[in-house]
Amino acid sequence: MPPSSCAIAIIILSHFAASVCFGAKILFVPGTVNSHTMFFTRLAVDLAELGHVTTVLAPSSVRVPDFAADVGGRVPNFAYVAYPVAGSTPFLNSPEVSGRLIAMAMTSSPLQRMRMIGELNVDVVMHGEENCVRLLDNEHIMHQARHS
């Protein structure tokens, strides 16, 4: 999956926030997928241990990585913040998507498979946009992100 424009903007902004003498303040906003949250949280913890100030802003539907909870006071410049989204399971990790992927794999028609992929892509984008809107409309979280 190509990187989202949010992720690219965060990388660019963190580059300009870096100072010659001090660590950077880096905000990670992983996609609504358990694996993305695991990867970006691990990266954030490792960078915080190197002296950077890192925050992971993750949807509430993803599983909080165990090592993020274990960091506690050990790495004071790391924060994990969950913002509320609909549902308790990320869409891409849902049984519905699993069923649709199996149906795609089982079809013998290339045209049917392409149609199914297109329909799934539309739903993935729709769910991603819903989560972005929920994040951007959350004044408390957005204030916290701007001033941390």
SS3 128: helix
The region, left, alpha or beta by phi > 0 then psi within -120 to 50, assigned to residue 51 is: left
Residue 19: its pLDDT value, please? Answer: 45
Highest mean pLDDT among 10-14, 21-25, 73-77, 95-99: 95-99
* Structural domain that includes position 23: 5-146
Q: Where are the alpha helices (DSSP H) in 2-109?
A: 5-17, 34-49, 66-71, 95-106
pTM above 0.85, yes or no: no
Residue type for position 81: V
- On the question of pLDDT at 105 being above 70, the answer is yes
Measured CA to CA, the distance from residue 32 to residue 34 in angstroms comes to 7
pLDDT of residue 20: 47
Q: Encode pLDDT of 51-91 as tens digits.
A: 999 999 999 999 988 888 777 678 888 999 999 999 899 99
18/22 Cα distance (integer angstroms): 7
Instruction: Check residues 141 and 23 and name the one with the higher pLDDT.
Output: 141
pLDDT at 11: 61
Average pLDDT, the chain: 86
Q: Total structural domains in the chain?
A: 1
pLDDT at 41: 94
Tokens of 124: 């993935």
Tens digit of each residue's pLDDT (9 = 90 or more) over 18-54: 544 567 899 999 988 899 999 999 999 999 999 999 9
**Percent share of the chain, pLDDT over 70:** 84
19 or 107: whose pLDDT is higher? 107
Kindly tell me the burial class for residue 130, based on how many C-beta atoms sit within 10 Å of its own C-beta (0-12, 13-18, 19 or more): middle
